[in-house]
A = this chain, B = another copy of it.
Amino acid sequence: SSDSNLIRATIFPGDGIGPEIAQSVKQVFSTAGVPIEWEEHYVGTEIDPRTQSFLTWESLESVRRNKVGLKGPMATPIGKGHRSLNLTLRKELNLYANVRPCYSLPGYKTRYDNVDLITIRENTEGEYSGLEHQVVRGVVESLKIITRQASMRVAEYAFHYAKTHGRQRVSAIHKANIMQKTDGLFLKCCREVAEKYPEIVYEEVVIDNCCMMLVKNPSLFDVLVMPNLYGDIISDLCAGLIGGLGLTPSCNIGEGGIALAEAVHGSAPDIAGKNLANPTALLLSAVSMLRHLELNDKADQIQDAILKTIAEGRYRTGDLGGKSTTTEFTNAVCDHL
């Protein structure tokens, strides 16, 4: 049943509410006539009976071959020694930049209006090295690793993104007043790249001050680029400004042009299988996948339909204070297409 006019994309529905929200994306894509053929693989907390592992070789190969994919939430397998599957995917696929656009959704009121931020997070090193040990009893250490290679590529991605998306400013977020060598190297790389983009305003902001400014006045920022942990923190803070992780898309960019879009919220086991999940974050992530494929018309069309549905406010899932089911919300989006 393979149609050569179709683009093949991998989909990992994931755990918990994953399958339901993935279903929502499939329905919306097929209603919109998106020329994509999904290649579905299961990655999650259940062991693949054939390979006895959580993440099969085929799953990884599928993303490597298709170069685009969409992933739902994955719970971390319980028990010691299991690395988070999210991290394993980032590492195995060399997903070096995590991009999270965060903008106010018209009609969904929070304390903040007109938020429009892009956080770009280094996704492979820093505090996430996994290198930790006990020095003596009661004294443990973790290593934060910053490399020129990873810092340059994420800085380049950030400035390229800013330029190609009509953004004015890139802020590098750091704590180089304390970690002069690691964050200092990160900043050095950002500065080097900034010189090649004289049309983009470049600034450096200490992370604590950045958080204070974000909650006081998020419109002071535009594109933010930063090491791994700061990106983890700041992207969630930004999500909070507009209503939470249920509303914010995310896309991971890898070497060789790979893009793996993902919903970064949890798998919400408490509501799984009950048709209550909000598919917005996965839908908007799927839209960012379409933009990566330069299917911008389809992307615009679907994004508009999602935003209209939220703006109308007639169909809202429980997390947004409504009573709609996943299906009702999805149907409403389809009706707007």
Contact = CB atoms under 8 A, between A and B. Distances in A.
A192 to B, nearest CB: 12
Interface in A177-216: 177-182, 184-185, 207-209, 211-216
A237 B240 CA distance: 12
A27 interface: no
A212 B185 contact: no
A144 B144 CA distance: 8
Given A148-B138, A215-B237, A133 B181 contact: yes
Contact of A208 (B178, B207, B236): B236
A143 B141 CA distance: 6
Interface string A159-189: 0000000000000000101111110110000
Chain A interface residue bracket vs B:
35 or more
Contact of A147 (B127, B128, B139, B148): B139
Nearest to A129: B141
Nearest to A112: B111
Contact of A207 (B138, B144, B233): B233
Nearest to A245: B212
A84 interface: yes
Given A139-B145, A144-B141, A127 B213 contact: no
Contact of A233 (B140, B233, B239): B233
Contact of A212 (B138, B213, B237): B237
Interface string A119-162: 00000000110001111011111111111110000000000000
Given A212-B239, A245-B212, A178 B128 contact: yes
Contacts of A215: 111, 215, 237, 240-241
Which 3 pairs show the lowest CB-CB distances between chains A and B? A138-B148, A215-B240, A212-B240
